[in-house]
Structure 1
């Protein structure tokens, strides 16, 4: 079982977004895919139901899905939502990431390099 932590601020924002999009009972799926300058990038999507290979976690009333193949890469990752004068956004802190690109949108781990693209 993996541990992806959704902070209270992130959960509040996800709940609000799900309700605005007519999915109050939906799931937040956290995923990893190849790409970006460093090789891997995060994905976040709203899903109506878990897939067969998904682990289900729950934080502050938000159901979170993590595909079992992505779980080792995401284990220990914290997802927060931060507000600033420039607006708000999700912040992802992954203790498994050993390198990330300058813009912060891609990363790689010790064991998984992914498939880097030109930025």
Structure 2
């Protein structure tokens, strides 16, 4: 399962509305893990409306989250969070599978 905090939900819905990507039109949040970053792996998020073979589909807190099977292996029980303010990071992942993260929090290793 991939979880979505209340603050992340609010921000995702606002961004979807700003970009005219409504859930009613079939749009969802696609999350993936890609190679890169100073710790070896990075998170990628985008809005999508086309499912792919092998996609893992979850819904938490009213947000549909889709990921490919390979990325899901890194994202099991991860929570998408959002932080605002002077020291806020924006979106970030609270990933219990990460053994190490970089200082900026945008990449990780397992």
TM-score, normalization by structure 2? 0.88
Structure 1 runs not aligned, ≥5 long: 110-119
User: Higher helix proportion, which one?
Assistant: 2
1:98 and 1:88 mapped to 2: Cα distance? 20
The corresponding residue for 2:17 is: 19
Following superposition, which runs of at least 4 residues in structure 1 exceed 6 angstroms of deviation?
Answer: none
RMSD: 1.5
The corresponding residue for 1:48 is: 49
TM-score, normalization by structure 1? 0.82
Structure 2 counterpart SS, 1:32? strand
Alignment of structure 1 residues 1-119 onto 2, 5 Å: 3-25=1-23, 26-85=27-86, 89-109=90-110
Alpha-carbon shift at residue 43 of structure 1 (Å): 0.4
Contact preservation (8 Å) 2:92, 2:106: no
Rg (Cα) greater in structure: 1
